[in-house]
Amino acid sequence: MYLKVLGSALIIAATSGIGYWYSREFQKHLNELQYLRQMFIMIYGEIRYTQESFGEVFSHLEKQLKEPYAEWFRNMAENIQNRSRTSFSELWGEAIDRCLRISHLKKEDLAELKDLGAQMGYLDADTQLGVLKLYTEKLEIRIQTIRTGLAAKKRLCNCLGIMSGIFIAIILV
């Protein structure tokens, strides 16, 4: 009898932990998008006020960023300086694939980032600033959308974790 109660408690604790883990993943995704928005605001400011090239902007900003974004910017700065025939969008996409796969960004976020790289790199400064501003506004809209449903999703994950543990415990007992 005690083993059944102990086993049921462990099952409920495990599924509750899984539910909590999923709810934290939603929060981490939101935090990553907010950090990404801050990064692009920094890029926008650097290009607008210093009129530097992307290579210089990336090498300057990589010192201020956390990983894996610092690695991404470091990689971009090195590749821009050493590139021969590779286009900016190819360098951008390769660096995203190599450096940001461990981030909490989703596939859609990474695809939008790659699309942004296809629009930059060969344009004049004003057009680049417009593209960066548009992307930052898109990120802001996405952040607001995620933020509005975040509390409900987190609560749902936590409740489903607990309820699934209770359900499994009832079936096994």
For the record, the structure tokens of 49 come out as 């006020």
Nearest in space to 74 (alpha carbons), one of 95, 89, 103: 95
Residue length of the chain: 173
Which backbone phi and psi does 43 adopt, to 5 degrees?
-60, -45
Domain positions in the chain: 2-172
Cα of 52 vs its chain's centroid, Å: 26
Q: In percent, how much of the chain has pLDDT > 90?
A: 18
Q: Please provide the DSSP assignment of 67-111 as one string.
A: TTHHHHHHHHHHHHHH-SS--HHHHHHHHHHHHSTTSS--HHHHH
Tens digit of each residue's pLDDT (9 = 90 or more) over 27-81? 898 998 999 899 889 888 888 888 777 778 887 887 888 888 888 888 888 877 7
pLDDT of residue 20: 92
Residue indicated by tokens 């090195």: 78
